[in-house]
């Protein structure tokens, strides 16, 4: 049996390729949209992709299943347990499509996959037990858990409500997840490998480990969320729903496109290199969002193009930031550190459904077009202004905007500050008065730089509070 985890650090997402080396067949589980990467892995290992399976309708990236579905010889294995609201509609009458229920099995060569219904993160969620029949095994070697069980955590059950807008779904989903954890895992062996759909940095959980895989025995001993679920549903519901990070705005769109479909493109778009004059011309057009992906916020603060938003190509920040500030009807213009980054950036944006990229320029080429400097106040200086109460807010002409998560804000904040998490800031634009100046802060300046640059691109007057400012915070 061949097994490879294909990990995307930008989305902290794991897909898996499992192949039978005797027959040369392979399946990809939870693929991303740019499917050329999986075909390349298959070719390099003398395999051919004959099947694609999904654990659930994803919220954080565009699934590659629709791209794979253009090949009529590939069999799709999808959950048939989502009910009216969360069933795949884009599939239509496509042949070679199998909707799985709890206990159903399928084979790829001599490798068997058994579907286990594990609802809670989403109602249709499946996990897959993998057994190497060709190697003589009569017990599964691994469980592909998707967003059911992670290393050190379990999937968050609030996204149907917090991201997809299904009112009242959060607590019932948490109870359903607790039931799945208690009912589906106890009979499985300690040695079972846990192959999760995400790792550290994903917004699909709050305490995900950075280790790529685990075993069920290890998780039984050291996964705190799993232990709480086994102790009782009431405590689990309370703890799993507290402290979850606010999902980026693009999550709601991903749920819809992965259920109902998105345009099939055959791969990421080609992104033309623009000379400075053309770049400036494109940047002045309505419905154009300029994304500055340079890694260092200090460089962005010192000098950037008018209207650019700081969306650094660093860890998982590009997708979270871009997905929170770019709307579906906007075209994208890119500022890069170097030409070598074009492929990485276009793939990351393509994976979250941002296809309309009109061009790019390297920052060093822009010269006079990049003269804007962000007003910045070091946190230590702001601390002197904010002790006890913030004097700058006395006449209502200035306002502190805290762009940390709601739970962080509740744990302590600048007196009088407003809270709007940076990943949800775009939806609050209509609520922010335009006749005052905003002092934007987070904990270190990273999230604040993204939020402040977005507000500036929308015409607001902003000051970036950069650096740690624990002294600014008063316990709630």
Whether residue 322 contacts residue 311, with contact meaning beta carbons closer than 8 Å, is answered with: yes
Is 453:310 a contact under the CB 8 Å cutoff?
yes
Percentage of the chain beyond pLDDT 90 is 82
Q: Which two tokens stand for residue 340?
A: 């070598």
pLDDT digits (tens, 9 = 90+) for 292-308: 999 999 999 999 999 99
Sheet holding 331-336, edge to edge: 308-310, 288-292, 331-336, 357-362
Q: Name the CA radius of gyration of the chain, rounded.
A: 24
The average pLDDT across 128-136 equals 97
Give per-residue pLDDT as tens, 305-362.
999 999 999 877 899 999 999 998 899 999 999 999 999 999 999 999 999 999 999 9
Q: Is 70 exposed, middle or buried (0-12, 13-18, 19+ CB in 10 A)?
A: exposed
Strand-strand pairing, 126-132 and 193-196: unpaired
Would you call 431 exposed, middle or buried from its count of C-beta atoms within 10 A (0-12, 13-18, 19+)?
Answer: exposed
Quick one: what percent of the chain has pLDDT higher than 70?
A: 96
Provide the pLDDT confidence category of residue 387 given band limits of 50, 70 and 90: low
Phi-psi region of 208 (alpha: psi -120 to 50; beta: other; left: phi over 0): beta
Q: Give buried/exposed letters for 445-459 (b at 16+ CB in 10 A, else e).
A: bbbbbbbbbbbbbbe
pLDDT at residue 86 is higher than 50: yes
Alpha-carbon gap, residue 58 to 247, rounded angstroms: 13
Residue 238 has pLDDT above 80, yes or no: yes
- What are the φ and ψ backbone dihedral angles of 457, each rounded to 5 degrees? -65, -20
Q: Which CATH number is correct for 276-369, 3.20.10.10, 1.25.50.10, 3.40.250.10, 3.40.190.10? A: 3.40.250.10
pLDDT at 165: 87
Q: Is the pLDDT of residue 400 over 70?
A: yes
Of residues 475 and 444, more confidently modeled: 444
Residue 328 is predicted with a pLDDT of 84
Cβ-Cβ contacts under 8 Å for 165 (sequence gap 6 or more): 252
pLDDT, average across residues 58-75:
97
Location of structure tokens 């309370």: 238
Superfamily classification of domain 2-255:
Ribonuclease Z/Hydroxyacylglutathione hydrolase-like (3.60.15.10)
Lowest-confidence range among 2-11, 75-84, 119-128, 376-385?
Answer: 376-385
Work out the end-to-end distance of the chain between its first and last CA atoms, rounded to an integer number of angstroms. 55
Whether residue 464 contacts residue 301, with contact meaning beta carbons closer than 8 Å, is answered with yes
| Beta-bridge mates of residue 106 | 113
How far, rounded to the nearest angstrom, does the alpha carbon of residue 448 sit from its chain's CA centroid? 19
The stretch 6-15 carries a mean pLDDT of 95
Length of the chain counted residue by residue: 476
User: What pLDDT is recorded for position 464?
Assistant: 94
Q: What's the CA gap between 40 and 167, in Å, rounded? A: 42
Q: Which secondary structure element, helix H or strand E, spans residue 290, and what is its range?
A: strand 288-292
Interval 175-192: pLDDT, tens = 999 999 999 999 999 999
Q: What is the pLDDT of residues 275-296, one digit of tens each?
A: 999 999 999 998 999 999 999 9
**CATH label, 376-472, candidates 3.40.250.10, 3.40.190.10, 3.40.50.460, 3.40.50.150:** 3.40.250.10
Q: Got the DSSP string for 24-87?
A: TEEEEES-BS-THHHHHHHHHTT-EEEEEE-SS--SSS-BSHHHHTTSTTSEEEEE--STTTTS
Extents of the domains making up the chain: 2-255, 276-369, 376-472
Using the predicted structure, report yes or no on whether residue 391 has a pLDDT greater than 70.
no
Q: Provide DSSP, 295-334.
A: S-HHHHHHSB-TTEEE---STTHHHHHHHHH--TT-EEEE
Can 276-369 and 376-472 be said to share one CATH topology? yes
| In contact, 109 and 75? CB cutoff 8 Å | no
Predicted local confidence at residue 388, as pLDDT: 44
Residue 442: CB partners within 8 Å, gap ≥ 6? Answer: 402, 403, 404, 422, 448, 451
* pLDDT per position as a tens digit, 416-443: 899 999 999 999 998 999 999 999 999 8
Give just the sign of the alpha carbon dihedral 71, 72, 75, 81. Answer: positive
- CA-CA-CA-CA dihedral for 414, 419, 422, 425, to nearest 10: -140
């Amino acid at each position: 049996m061949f097994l490879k985890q294909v990990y995307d650090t930008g989305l902290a997402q794991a897909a898996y390729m499992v192949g039978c080396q005797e027959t040369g067949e392979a399946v990809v589980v939870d693929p991303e949209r740019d499917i050329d990467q999986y075909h390349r892995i298959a070719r390099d290992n003398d395999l051919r992709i004959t099947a694609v399976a999904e654990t659930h309708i994803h919220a954080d990236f565009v699934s590659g299943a629709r791209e794979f579905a253009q090949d009529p010889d590939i069999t799709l294995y999808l959950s048939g347990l989502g009910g009216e609201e969360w069933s795949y509609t884009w599939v239509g009458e496509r042949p070679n499509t199998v909707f799985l229920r709890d206990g159903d099995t399928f084979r790829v060569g001599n490798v068997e996959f058994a579907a286990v219904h594990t609802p809670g993160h989403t109602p249709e969620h499946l996990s897959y037990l993998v057994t190497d029949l060709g190697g003589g095994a009569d017990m599964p070697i691994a469980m592909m858990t998707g967003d059911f069980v992670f290393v050190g955590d379990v999937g968050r059950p609030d996204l149907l409500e917090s991201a997809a807008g299904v009112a009242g779904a959060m607590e019932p989903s948490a109870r359903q997840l607790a039931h799945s954890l208690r009912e589906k895992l106890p009979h499985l062996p300690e040695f079972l490998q846990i192959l999760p759909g995400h790792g550290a940095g994903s917004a699909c959980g709050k305490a995900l480990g950075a280790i790529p895989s685990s075993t069920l025995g290890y998780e039984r001993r050291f996964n705190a969320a799993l232990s709480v679920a086994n102790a009782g549903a009431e405590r689990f519901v309370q703890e799993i729903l507290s402290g979850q990070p606010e999902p980026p705005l693009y999550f709601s769109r991903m749920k819809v496109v992965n259920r109902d479909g998105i345009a099939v493109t055959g791969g990421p778009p080609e992104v033309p290199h623009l000379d400075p004059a053309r770049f400036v011309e494109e940047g002045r057009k309505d419905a154009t969002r300029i994304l500055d992906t340079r890694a260092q916020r200090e460089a962005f603060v010192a000098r950037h193009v008018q209207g650019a938003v700081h969306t650094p190509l660093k860890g998982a920040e590009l997708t979270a930031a871009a997905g929170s500030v770019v709307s579906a009807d906007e075209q994208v213009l890119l500022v890069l550190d170097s030409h070598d980054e074009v492929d990485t950036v276009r793939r990351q944006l393509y994976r979250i459904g941002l296809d309309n990229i009109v061009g790019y320029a390297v920052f060093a080429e822009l010269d006079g077009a990049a003269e804007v400097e962000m007003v910045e106040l070091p946190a230590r200086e702001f601390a002197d202004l904010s002790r006890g109460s913030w004097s700058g807010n006395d006449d209502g002409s200035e306002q502190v905007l805290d762009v940390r998560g709601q739970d962080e804000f509740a744990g302590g904040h600048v007196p009088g500050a407003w809270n709007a998490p940076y990943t949800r800031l775009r939806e609050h634009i209509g609520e922010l008065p335009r006749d005052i100046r905003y002092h934007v802060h987070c904990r270190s300046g990273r999230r604040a730089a993204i939020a402040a640059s977005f507000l500036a691109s929308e015409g607001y007057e902003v000051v970036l509070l950069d650096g740690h400012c624990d002294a600014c915070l008063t316990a709630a």
